[in-house]
Amino acid sequence: MALLEVKNLGISFGGLRAVDEVNLNIEKGQLYGLIGPNGAGKTTLFNLLTGVYQPTNGTIMLDGVNIVGKNTYEINLAGIGRTFQNIRLFKNMTVLDNVKVALTNREKYSLFSGILRFPLYFKKEKIMNDIARDILAVFNLEQEEDTLASNLPYGKQRKLEIARALATNPKLLLLDEPAAGMNPNETAELMDTIRLIRDKFNITILLIEHDMKLVAGICEEIFVLNFGTELAKGTPEVVLNDPAVITAYLGA
């Protein structure tokens, strides 16, 4: 059974059909790319998968459970984490606290325990600090744990957002243009990091990306959207040499 199985998924905004009858299967442990020209419906599809939008039709099965109708928080608890095209960090919080915010899926204590500083509070805080630091180490951010997120360089802010999504303990991690704005060295490092987190944490990854070198370098399968519909799917070698895909990107 696929980890993610999307059938006949669609959404309309008034008379605009933004996503139309999309079918998508992603196996556990797979590193999958979602590509297409601007306005193809890629981020809209991410928003459907995470409950930001509710589909007009179709089903979304996550590990055999239909998550259509669930809200964003419930879908995150079910096992989907994501990043955003535009970075959305808590910029006035430290790097460490940005990751700890996402650990409420794993560790909790009551407001009462926190106010009165019961032993449970200190126990849970230590556990969360240790987990957050382990995650930051994967991204080489452990030295910046006390830095405000707003003071990080752009590339490290991108990494921190991925680290925060990873802290929610997802089965499926959605990365929306993770290499946007990065220089070639940062992009190469990001490719290695994405492979590492897939293997180290046994996570399935679906990413949107316009950097075809990154897509071809790490993705095992690629799905192409154009005007909200499937244009092509298959291995990078097949898809990136498909004349229809080339035409969609470059024009006839």
What confidence tens digit (pLDDT) does each residue in 60-101 have? 999 999 999 999 999 999 999 999 988 999 999 999 999 999
Q: Which two tokens stand for residue 223?
A: 């799905």
**% of residues, the chain, pLDDT over 70:** 93
Under a CB-based contact definition with an 8 Å cutoff, are residues 197 and 174 in contact? no
Rounded-to-10 torsion of CA 243, 39, 176, 244:
-10
Average pLDDT over residues 212-239: 94
Total-model pTM: 0.90
Q: pLDDT per residue over 27-56, tens digit each? A: 999 999 999 998 899 999 999 999 999 999
- Domains and their CATH numbers in the chain: 1-79+169-252 (3.40.50.300), 91-168 (no CATH)
Name the residue among 213, 149, 134, 170 with its Cα closest to residue 4.
170
